[in-house]
Amino acid sequence: MSSSISIAAGSRLTKCEINISNTAENIVTGFAKYDKTELIKSNNIDGWNYLALYGNQTLVNDNDKLGIVVFYNTDQFIELLEDELSFIVILKPEGGKVTYYFAAAWEQEENGIKNIDEFKKYLVETIQILNNPAIVEIK
């Protein structure tokens, strides 16, 4: 297995491209559960979707808020699972490859997302961008 991780300048998104040389049936990603957070899921539309948490999940203080998200493509999606500690996204490799994104938004970052409504807006806007990538033609 090899992993390529990239971040574009000015973006919160981290792109993960996992290449698998054997016949693995799935790859999992996800994040830990926190008591003072709200789970946010997309509506499983065609294309890119997300699983996210927003709320108190930092060590700063009880009022500090952070949003975390995993963006996954329904073409590779198998199942969402959870246990007492984690939320898990199970993905199916296509041609030995899985691609997903993750991101975080902290309320204390400069010009950051300050509340859950702004975080939800970011999630919707990011899905629109992922589902409608720019196409550059050179003539």
Structure confidence at residue 128 as a pLDDT band (50, 70, 90) = very high
pLDDT at 78: 95
Mean pLDDT of the chain: 91
Inside any domain, residue 91: yes
Task: Look at 90 and 134; give whichever has higher pLDDT.
Answer: 90
Asked whether the predicted pLDDT for residue 22 surpasses 80, the reply is: no
Inside any domain, residue 136: no
Note the pLDDT tens digit of each residue in 60-102: 777 789 999 999 999 999 999 999 999 999 999 998 999 999 9
Inside any domain, residue 89: yes
Task: Write down how long the chain is.
Answer: 139
Inside any domain, residue 30: yes
Could you give the number of structural domains in the chain? 1
Asked whether the predicted pLDDT for residue 131 surpasses 80, the reply is: yes
What DSSP assignment string belongs to 90-116?
EE--BTTEEEEEEEEEETTSTT---SH
DSSP label at residue 12: -
Inside any domain, residue 61: yes
Residue 129's SS3 state is: helix
Residue 26: domain span = 2-131
Inside any domain, residue 12: yes
Asked whether the predicted pLDDT for residue 44 surpasses 80, the reply is: no
Inside any domain, residue 112: yes
β-bridge pairing 77-82 and 86-91: antiparallel
pLDDT at 36: 87
Asked whether the predicted pLDDT for residue 21 surpasses 90, the reply is: no
pLDDT at 26: 93
Inside any domain, residue 17: yes
Structure confidence at residue 19 as a pLDDT band (50, 70, 90) = very high
